[in-house]
Amino acid sequence: MDSHNETAAPLSIVILGTCDTKLCELLYLRSQILSHVEDASITLIDVGKTPISNPAISIPQNDLLSNHASTSPSELSTMARSQVMQTMTEAATACLKHLYSKTAIHGVISIGGSGGTSLTSTAMRRALPFLLPKLIVSTMASGDTSPFVGESDITLMYSIVDIAGSNGILNGVLGNAAGGIVGMAHAFQKRQLSESQNHDDPTTQTAPRLQKKLKIGITMFGVTTPCVDTIRHHLLTTLGLDSCEIYIFHATGHGGRAMERLISSSALDAIIDLTTSEVADEIVGGVMSAGPHRLKAGLVAGIPQIISVGACDLVNFGPRNTVPQRFLDEGRKLYEHNASVTLVRTNVDECKRIGGFIAEKIREYCKRPDLVQVVLPTGGISPLSKRGE
């Protein structure tokens, strides 16, 4: 028997859903979770527009609104759909934050179509930390899922059929989802217990264990991988595995956002922002922008950082046929990185604007200039801009 399970509290799982439209499916999901863990503590939160009464609902819509919003159920019924979505999203976010701060939560799961997925994914992203299991069964899980996942670690499962009524396919999907969230929740709980026991056990408190590892973030793209690999090897060799952890962030837009979210939550001690290509996509209109606030988090936090311009000579688009016509008309150089990513070479004016963006962010937000260095390579900022390429 696993010694962790002997002292573990009951598994705690939160279910989010619109009970006015998906009560039967939510109750089936709940029953499937209990079939795996009979003593699980399940909190079913109703985020629907119309109040529903059922003994399995732990937090009815009325309570959700009265405790976590300034809107009454009667007011909600007169609102436009967009206002309802905003109100319920804010209430669900506040409720999850409250639950997470007051009780042990080991996993959160929801089911929904486009509206439900938008609502619950936003609440999960805003309220819950990285690594806490988050799973959504959705009709929207096949396709562009970036509006739902963003920079978070939400797991999406495609429902195959619409979440409307009971049938063999949907029940099978919900059964798999129940098993998935139970397994993830068990893993999360076990890791928490292990970390807690190691912290409390004086026999494990050796000097190396007490030493806090330096957490360093590095941004990387395929075209900057050789450089990042060299840096990582140097850091691990110089500092040692017991002294540092290296976190590599793929500069796809969401990678930069994820790194900056960790910086803002004090989860990184230093960064090597080698690959700032997300700035190029923001300036030129590529598909991998991290938004207009890229670089701000690290500068405001005042942590040690090195900023460079890796891959800022390239702008990212999807397959070749998605590259905007204006770049083809200008005769821009294209490079097919793979079947899904086509790179467009930046021109002189765009490079000036990219450099201006970086310089402006440093001037405006740099809290500790003594801890920031800007490195400009002279031999090319990606393999594609090296001499002879």
How confident is the model over 213-247, as pLDDT tens digits? Answer: 999 999 999 889 999 999 999 999 999 988 999 99
189-214: burial string, b at 16+ Cβ within 10 Å, e else? beebbeeeeeeeeeeeeeeeeeeeee
Highest mean pLDDT among 141-145, 166-170, 359-363: 359-363
Q: For residues 343 and 322, is the Cβ–Cβ distance under 8 A?
A: no
Q: pLDDT (tens digit, 9 = 90+) per residue, 280-329?
A: 999 999 999 999 999 999 999 999 999 999 999 999 999 999 999 999 99
CA distance to 191, 192, 388, per residue, from 4 (Å): 9, 10, 59
Question: What's the rounded mean pLDDT across residues 65-79?
Answer: 89
- Tell me, what amino acid is at 188? F
SS3 of 215-261 = EEEEEECHHHHHHHHHHHHHHHHHHCCCCEEEEEEECCCHHHHHHHH
Give the H or E element holding residue 138.
Answer: strand 134-138
339, pLDDT greater than 70 = yes
Task: Pull the structure tokens for residue 94.
Answer: 């506040």
Number of H helices, E strands in the chain: 15, 13
For residue 374, name the pLDDT band (cuts at 50, 70, 90). Answer: very high
Q: What is the CA radius of gyration of the chain?
A: 24
Whose CA is closest to 354, among 285, 251, 258? 285
Q: For residues 279 and 221, is the Cβ–Cβ distance under 8 A?
A: no
pTM of the model: 0.81
Whose CA is closest to 340, among 139, 144, 141? 144
Round to whole Å and give the CA distance between 364 and 231: 28
Round to whole Å and give the CA distance between 158 and 17: 16
For residue 334, name the pLDDT band (cuts at 50, 70, 90). Answer: very high
Whose CA is closest to 215, among 235, 192, 238? 235
Q: State whether the Cα torsion 215-221-224-226 is positive or negative.
A: positive
The distance between the two most distant Cα atoms of the chain, rounded to a whole number of Å, is: 71
CA distance to 45, 116, 235, per residue, from 53 (Å): 12, 19, 58
Rounded to the nearest 10 degrees, the angle between the axes of helix 277-284 and helix 348-365 is 110
Q: For residues 231 and 282, is the Cβ–Cβ distance under 8 A?
A: no
For residue 142, name the pLDDT band (cuts at 50, 70, 90). Answer: confident
DSSP letter (8 states) at residue 306: E
For residue 270, name the pLDDT band (cuts at 50, 70, 90). Answer: very high
Least confident of 110-124, 197-211, 375-389: 197-211
Could you give the residue ranges of the DSSP H alpha helices within 157-203? Answer: 168-200
Round to whole Å and give the CA distance between 291 and 255: 11
Q: For residues 191 and 130, is the Cβ–Cβ distance under 8 A?
A: no
pLDDT computed for residue 204 by the predictor? 44
State what percent of residues in the chain have pLDDT above 70: 94
Q: For residues 173 and 160, is the Cβ–Cβ distance under 8 A?
A: yes
User: Which residues on adjacent β-strands are paired with residue 108?
Assistant: 14, 134
Round to whole Å and give the CA distance between 282 and 285: 6
